[in-house]
Amino acid sequence: MNDRIVIIGGGIIGLLCGRELLHRGYAVTILEGGTLQGSASTGNAGVISPGHPPIPTPEVAAKAFRMLLDRRSPLYIPPRASLPLLRWLLAFRRACRPAHFKMISQVLDQFSMRSRELFDPLVQEAPHALDASGFAEIVRTKAGQQHLAMERDRLEQSGFEVELQDGDTFREQDPGWDPSVRAALIHRHGIVTRPDLLIQHLSDQFTAEGGQLRTGCQVIRVHRQRNRFESVELNGGERVEADGLLLAAGIWTTRLVKDLGIRIPMQAAKGYHVMIEMKSPPRRAALLQEACVVVNPMGDQVRIAGTLELSGINDRMVTRRVNMLQEAARDYVPGIDEAPRRSEWNGLRPCTADGLPAIGLVPGMSNAFVATGHAMMGVTLGPGTAELVAGCIEGQALPNWAEPMNASRFA
């Protein structure tokens, strides 16, 4: 097989799909507009969390109005006049219904379980970037404790390996956490990653195995002849031709896919991280459940990541929201709010309104494919996405369980 596939986007999805296609014998070129470092794929919280619930849930629907008005809420929607946002919010509201939530949770559980299996060889290959000893989800309140017990039951029923510990047991192994932490759910199936090192490893491997990776190549247009993709046009005017196209450009896929005559409506959900220095940080990465923030020790620094802000496609740093991260973590980690900050970052999660990624053949096209919309779970679902995409490019239909993620639902 020597079909040439061009992939737009060198984030986690583009790189993992490129790797899979290379292993299946395709000649693969990845075109990345930036440098590979700096997107959501390198700035994320670094927690591979199979079984993580989707963004639209019945609980979110109940809180949505309050969140809309509360600038300190982890999920925040600054008021702005935007018809696409309004349409997206209405579809999101429908997706929060219990029946839809149940359906997408089942799909994502199965998908993340498969993806977790596919991470095993990568963990062997890149132990400096991936640590498979699990992560914790911790709480300080009684309500939080009840939530963890329910999460344990839900995850166990879906076949995930979890263990509920009381605060004392948890702190015996990891004394960096505050005595007010009441309970911890250890996600034993989880993987903690250094996202920058993971992206570096994947890009190094990709080129070592014969893939072509071109950075600084912004695709400005996708050209087609009726239902066949023909070439992409770069910012300098160069055209790159191929036998097949994969759009894996995160939130920017929304614009590129319009050249192929369809719409995949997504909103950018901005998140932030700060890197801080601490003398005795916690050992294990943890999701601070009530604060909706992740604390992840990385080398000699600690990353605090979180917040979800639907403010459009931009990289504006809102100081108040960046500061919220350290403030939110201070009740869980003594002294964390006073630790010196080394850097701050923001990036965009690509979010569909129905809470599912968009994967497969671009409707109406014969040789153009898409893989996007992974929201809060792009790293977690990456290897599974690559397997599904490669199957589609080889001419297979998506398996039945994955059909709700079919990009054709937007036709």
Ligand X SMILES: Cc1cc2nc3c(=O)[nH]c(=O)nc-3n(C[C@H](O)[C@H](O)[C@H](O)COP(=O)(O)OP(=O)(O)OC[C@H]3O[C@@H](n4cnc5c(N)ncnc54)[C@H](O)[C@@H]3O)c2cc1C
Distance from C-alpha of 181 to C-alpha of 166, rounded to nearest angstrom: 9
Would the CA dihedral through 405, 263, 77, 43 be positive or negative?
positive
Q: Which is nearer to ligand X, 171 or 275 (CB)?
A: 275
**Which CB sits closer to ligand X, 11 or 297?**
11
329 in Cβ contact with 293 (< 8 Å): yes
215 in Cβ contact with 10 (< 8 Å) = yes
Q: Which is nearer to ligand X, 101 or 345 (CB)?
A: 345
Strand bridging mode 301-309 / 239-241: unpaired
Which residue, chain included where needed, has tokens 């630790």?
Answer: 339
Q: Which of 36, 60 has the CB closer to ligand X?
A: 36
Report the nearest approach of ligand X to the CB of residue 45 (Å): 3
Round to whole Å and give the CA distance between 376 and 294.
12
Residue 158 burial (10 A CB sphere; 0-12, 13-18, 19+): middle
Q: How far apart are CA 369 and CA 388, in angstroms?
A: 11
Measured from the CB atom, the residue of 350 and 360 that comes closer to ligand X is: 350
Min separation Cβ 9 and ligand X, Å: 3
Of 267, 284, 309, the residue nearest 92 (C-alpha)? 267
Contact positions vs ligand X (CB under 6 A): 8-14, 31-34, 39-41, 44-48, 218-219, 248-250, 252, 256, 271, 273, 305, 347, 349-350, 372, 374-380
Distance of closest approach, residue 39 Cβ to ligand X, in angstroms:
4
Q: Are 308 and 92 in contact (CB under 8 A)?
A: no
> C-beta of 247: minimal distance to ligand X in Å?
9
**φ, ψ for residue 341 (rounded to 5)?**
-90, 130
In whole angstroms, how close is the CB of 385 to ligand X at the nearest point? 9
DSSP SS3 for 78:
coil
Smallest gap from Cβ 298 to ligand X, in A, equals: 12
Q: Is 171 left (phi over 0), alpha (psi -120 to 50) or beta?
A: alpha
Cβ closest to ligand X, residue 379 vs residue 402: 379
Q: How far apart are CA 188 and CA 184, in angstroms?
A: 12
Residue closer to ligand X, measured from CB, 167 or 387: 387
Give the shortest CB-193-to-ligand X separation in angstroms: 8
Cβ proximity to ligand X, 171 vs 245, nearer residue: 245
Residues with Cβ within 8 Å of 150's Cβ and at least 6 positions away in sequence, in order, are: none
Please report how close the Cβ of residue 363 comes to ligand X at its closest, in angstroms.
19
Closer of 167 and 266 to ligand X (Cβ):
266
38, burial (CB in 10 Å: exposed 0-12, middle 13-18, buried 19+): middle
Task: Give min distance, CB of 347 to ligand X, in A.
Answer: 4
